[in-house]
């Protein structure tokens, strides 16, 4: 059985499957903490929501990229990915806290593309720092 798990194709498929599952779960959690429905807003053509959601997806993928490169086991990779997600989620709340003059969720829901772009950049930027910390 060890030879099965040593196969590079099997390892990549395992990492890929776990990351996809984590992305689905983490995006569902982001959906719970935002005041709008991501996929409904994207369907309506809300570019600000699409940018913010895309930034979260790219940020999570970046965190998992670093975790896959650094860890030799699927469980360690997943643990560091979850930790990185928690940090990224904290960054979302910090962004909201640091902008007391307006509500981030309301602006993104209203298709304020400047706020959506900032959310995208913050997610990617923080994921780069988180990924560097994991590496």
Residues 120, 117: Cα–Cα separation, whole Å: 5
pLDDT at 7 (0 to 100): 83
Does 24 have pLDDT greater than 70?
A: yes
15 Cβ contact partners less than 8 Å away, ≥ 6 residues apart: 68, 74, 77
Q: Please, what is the average pLDDT of the chain?
A: 92
Domain ranges of the chain: 2-134
pLDDT digits (tens, 9 = 90+) for 39-69: 999 999 999 999 999 999 999 999 999 999 9
> Scanning the structure block, which residue is given the tokens 């860890």?
71
Entry pTM: 0.88
Say if residues 79 and 86 touch (Cβ distance below 8 Å).
Answer: no
Does 6 have pLDDT greater than 90?
A: no
Instruction: Provide mean pLDDT across the span 66-77.
Output: 88
Residues 84, 2: Cα–Cα separation, whole Å: 29
Residues 91, 89: Cα–Cα separation, whole Å: 5
């Amino acid at each position: 059985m060890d030879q099965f798990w040593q196969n590079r194709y099997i390892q990549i498929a395992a990492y890929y499957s776990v990351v996809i599952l984590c992305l689905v779960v983490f995006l569902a959690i982001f959906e719970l903490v935002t005041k709008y429905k991501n996929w409904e807003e994207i369907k309506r053509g809300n570019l600000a929501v699409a940018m913010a959601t895309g930034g979260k997806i790219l940020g999570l993928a970046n965190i998992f990229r670093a975790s896959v490169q650094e860890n030799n086991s699927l469980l360690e990779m997943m643990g560091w990915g979850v930790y990185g997600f928690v940090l990224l989620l904290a960054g979302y709340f910090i962004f909201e806290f640091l902008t007391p003059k307006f509500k981030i969720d309301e602006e993104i829901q209203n298709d304020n593309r400047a706020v959506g772009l900032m959310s995208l950049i913050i997610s990617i930027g923080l994921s780069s720092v988180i990924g560097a910390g994991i590496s």
